[in-house]
Amino acid sequence: MKTFRIAKVLFKSLFKKPATLMYPVVQREWQERTRGSIDLYSEACILCGICARRCPADAIEVDRKAGTWTIHRMQCIQCGECVAACPKKCLGMNNQYTEPQAEKVVDTYEIEQKKDETKGPANAELTCNKEECVFCGLCAKVCPADALKVDRKEKIWEVDKEACAKCGACVDKCPKKCLSMGEAKAEAEAAPKAEEKPAAEGEEKLNCNLDECIYCGLCAKNCPCDALTVDRKEKVWEVDEEACVKCGACLEKCPKECLAIS
Amino acid sequence: MSERVDVVQNFEAVEVSQLLTEVKDLKAEGYRFAQACATVVDDKIEIIYSFDKAHQLKNLRITVAQGEEVESITGDYWPAFIYENEMHDLFGVQFNHSALDYQGNFFKVAEPTPWNPKK
Amino acid sequence: MAKRTVIPFGPQHPVLPEPVHLDLVVEDETVVEAIPSIGFIHRGLEKLVEKRDYSQMVYVIERICGICSFGHGWGAAAAVEGAMGVKIPERAEYLRTILHELSRLHSHLLWLGLLADAFGFESLFNHCWRVRETVLDILEKTTGGRVIFSICKVGGLNKDIDNETLKEIVETLEGIKEEIKELTDVFIEDDSVKNRMVGVGVLSKEDAEELCAVGPVARGSGVVQDMRLTNNHGVYGELDFEPVIETAGDCYARCKVRIGEVFQSIELIAKAVAKIPEGPVSVPVKGNVEGEYMLRLEQPRGEAFYYAKGANSKFLQRMRVRTPTNMNIPALVKTLQGCDLADVPILILTIDPCISCTER
């Protein structure tokens, strides 16, 4: 016969502090990673609207014309998708929950739209100077809105104007600096000099100074065309001449500066 | 020591008329019914029946046109009634000779067959 | 000839705060037939695939259930990864396994509490949930959420958990092991508890196979069935995983299976932490989903299905989730036949029903 087996537990808890908190007199301490609510650092926001499009709960509204960024606090599910998607890193997650209330909380932030000279006017369009472009496709890879289409073989660079949020992520990333917001010259767009390119490119070659190289593999990771093979153990650094577009994305990333296009 | 299993993706297309024979064969081989689900593919409805034996999965796929009727497998696998009623209520697939037919009252939906493209 | 009465049981009822309705046909005090009906809160989450792309869908699927949420997120992400042919880093696979076992731990502790509540043992219920709180604190510290973690994404995990924290987790779990042991001893040894469970609601091995039961219900009846024995998710193969099996098939056996799994989960987490490799926790995933993939996970409640089918678009054509409770309802209906009316709540509870899961 074994009855009242819980006596031990009960007896012990007589001498322990309560496991519960005297809420709300004593506030609970939140962890650093607690997903409480979304913060907007409005100085950096460019109203691109990617957060609104990524939100699974449709809790964010972005109005470019009125210059407002709105979040429906009670609709937000704190998944963090917008924080991860923001190209300007102007969203953050803090660990304080929205206070429970009888009315739904809607927070609207006014965003001052900057007339940035480098980015052109607010109604600018993303253009590519096709004389410079090597069709590496890096822009399409970083585009958070999937608005760009690049085909190397056909020498096509296209932007889906509906989808483009003009966030400028591609402009920052372009190794040839051929992308701009509303600055492209008319003639450059009209005549892509595709025929001249291969001849000029033919002499160029990506080289690595193997004495300096530490085979870290950063170049291969950042190659938009997957043209590089790096093996640390075997000490191999190889470039696929066919695939390489000589964009120079690897040069920027190389910590030893042992890469060169010549 | 229990055996570990690498589950392979195994989909087998079956004619609607052959379904019951195939299911009977699987039952005789000792398979366990695992699930059934419907997918809308170009106006037609694709139904996948999954069977499990020793952690290995076998999926039978049938394609049903709008209005086509399917023979119920509840005669062999009684627990399938949940899935058949679900597909009936959401997709409007008609199952014949069901062992437990809720006649459209399994899910309390606002409108009949909400997931059917034809409505 | 005794008179037959029909007693409607639920959707608001004494066992669960969840809407399942049963029509119990009783003769005197004995149930002769039970007719289940669900569908009171069908949400149609699967239909949302048409409006949410696959990476958003992981967050949606995760919200099917507040208890097995990590498993749902993992299943949805892994099914999409399978369809796209993405291989996630090994560290992510380990971390997913650890987080899944933590979820199982808190789910089973929650269930033990509910079981105690169902037979009116209030203090045991409260103590089970007190211990569970420690696990929830660990989850909040590592993922940022107590029940909804939002850490799983297609391609791996959103956040890494560093090795220091992992070691702390193992130490904390070792610390509460003794407390859990004291509580589970009450379930296993106390006469008043045994009186309510031993020999009640027996489901024989043949019946469990015939009725296609899954999870702890099947394992309590001696069926060797655990999706952790399959190799297409997690790292259970490297942790010497062996399923917990009981043969009696009654409520007591199902309770013992879950108690066994509580301690097994703590062990699995310790083993995984000892073996975890260094490395990244995610790989970038871009592009459309083409093809289909069927994946099964062992949720705390049993085998769960995740089926992803894409037609070369960001939006999936179908995301099917079949939850374990779906498969255990036939077994429940069968065990209810011939039981006492007073045992109905305990019987319903021992299949660990999650109606929110069932009504995706």
Nearest to C31 by CA among C254, C320, C343, C350: C343
Domain boundaries, chain A: 29-110, 126-190, 204-261
- Higher pLDDT: C105 or A115? It is C105
- Chain A hits for C192, CB-CB cut-off 8 Å, are 3
- Chain C hits for B77, CB-CB cut-off 8 Å, are 212
| Residue A225 pLDDT > 80 | no
pLDDT in tens, A85-114: 887 788 888 888 888 889 888 888 887 765
- Chain B hits for C233, CB-CB cut-off 8 Å, are none
The pairing of strands B11-13 and B56-64 is: parallel
Is residue C16 within 8 A of residue C355, CB to CB? The reply is yes
From the list C211, C309, C318, which residue is nearest B79 (CB)?
C211
Tell which CATH architecture fits domain A29-110. 2-Layer Sandwich (3.30)
| Residue A181 pLDDT > 60 | yes
Calculate the alpha carbon distances from A23 to A17, A28, A29, B48, C293 in Å: 15, 8, 11, 51, 47
- Chain A hits for C127, CB-CB cut-off 8 Å, are 6, 9, 13
Phi–psi pair at A9, nearest 5 degrees? -60, -45
Give the count of domains, chain C. 1
| Residue A189 pLDDT > 50 | no
Give Cα C139 to chain centroid, integer Å.
Answer: 16
Phi–psi pair at C232, nearest 5 degrees? -95, 15
Domain that holds residue C318: 46-195+234-244+254-323
CA distance B113 to chain C (A): 12
Cβ separation C186–A93 shorter than 8 A? no
State the pLDDT at residue C100.
92
| Residue A123 pLDDT > 70 | no
State the pLDDT at residue A207.
79
Cβ separation B50–C294 shorter than 8 A? yes
CA distance C357 to chain B (A): 14
Top-tier CATH class for A126-190: alpha beta
Residues A231, A237, A243, A247, Cα dihedral to 10°: 110
CA distance A158 to chain C (A): 17
From the list A3, A33, A81, which residue is nearest C190 (CB)?
A3
SS3 per-residue string spanning chain B: CCCCECCCCCEEECCHHHHHHHHHHHHHCCCEEEEEEEEEECCEEEEEEEEEECCEEEEEEEEECCCCEEECCCCCCHHHHHHHHHHHHHHCCEEECCCCCCCCCCCCCCCCCCCCCCC
| Residue A10 pLDDT > 80 | yes
- Chain C hits for B32, CB-CB cut-off 8 Å, are 209, 212
- Higher pLDDT: C17 or B53? It is B53
Helix (H, G, I), strand (E, B) or coil at C94: helix
CA distance C157 to chain A (A): 12
State the pLDDT at residue A84.
84
Is residue B77 within 8 A of residue B26, CB to CB? The reply is no
Least confident of A17-31, A116-130, A207-221, C179-193: A116-130
Q: Which residues of chain C have pLDDT under 50?
A: none
Q: How many CB atoms lie within 10 A of CB A209?
A: 13
Tell which CATH architecture fits domain A204-261. 2-Layer Sandwich (3.30)
Cβ separation C130–A19 shorter than 8 A? yes
- Chain C hits for B11, CB-CB cut-off 8 Å, are 292
Q: Tell me the residues of C at the A interface, defined by beta carbons under 8 Å apart.
A: 52, 55-57, 59-60, 63, 121, 123-124, 127, 130, 133, 137, 140-145, 148, 150, 158-159, 182-183, 185-186, 189-192, 286, 314
Subunit partners of chain B (3 or more CB pairs within 8 A):
C
Which residue type occupies A227?
A
Interface B:C, Cβ pairs < 8 A: 93
Name the average pLDDT for chain A. Answer: 76
Q: What is the ipTM of this complex?
A: 0.85
From the list C42, C224, C231, which residue is nearest B2 (CB)?
C224
State the pLDDT at residue A198.
42
Chains B and C touch, using 3 or more CB pairs below 8 Å: yes
Q: Which class for C188: exposed (0-12), middle (13-18), buried (19 or more C-beta within 10 A)?
A: middle
- Chain B hits for C307, CB-CB cut-off 8 Å, are 37, 48
Cβ separation B32–C39 shorter than 8 A? no
| Residue A185 pLDDT > 70 | no
Cβ separation C294–B55 shorter than 8 A? no
| Residue A186 pLDDT > 50 | no
Q: Does C139 reside within a domain?
A: yes
Q: Predicted confidence band at A203 (pLDDT cuts at 50, 70, 90)? A: low
- Higher pLDDT: B1 or C111? It is C111
From the list C211, C293, C317, which residue is nearest B9 (CB)?
C293
Helix (H, G, I), strand (E, B) or coil at C202: coil
Q: Report the CATH number that the domain containing residue C286 is assigned in CATH.
A: 1.10.645.10
Q: Predicted confidence band at A197 (pLDDT cuts at 50, 70, 90)? A: very low
Is residue C344 within 8 A of residue C336, CB to CB? The reply is yes
Residues A217 and C186: their CA atoms lie apart, in Å, by 57
Spell out the domains of chain B, with CATH numbers in brackets.
11-96 (3.30.460.80)
Which residues, at least 6 apart from B52, have a Cβ–Cβ distance to it below 8 Å? Answer: B31, B32, B33, B34, B58
Cβ separation A10–C123 shorter than 8 A? yes
- Higher pLDDT: C121 or A183? It is C121
| Residue B4 pLDDT > 60 | yes
Cβ separation C294–B107 shorter than 8 A? no
Chain C residue with minimum CA distance to A4: C190
Least confident of B43-52, B69-78, B108-117, C175-184: B108-117
State the pLDDT at residue C263.
92
Cβ separation C296–B2 shorter than 8 A? no
Q: Does C336 reside within a domain?
A: no
Residue with tokens 């062990």: C267
Q: Predicted confidence band at A224 (pLDDT cuts at 50, 70, 90)? A: low
| Residue A190 pLDDT > 80 | no
State the pLDDT at residue C262.
92
| Residue A201 pLDDT > 60 | no
Q: Predicted confidence band at A184 (pLDDT cuts at 50, 70, 90)? A: very low
| Residue A187 pLDDT > 50 | no
As a whole number, mean pLDDT of residues B65-79 equals 85
| Residue A192 pLDDT > 50 | no
- Higher pLDDT: C332 or A141? It is C332
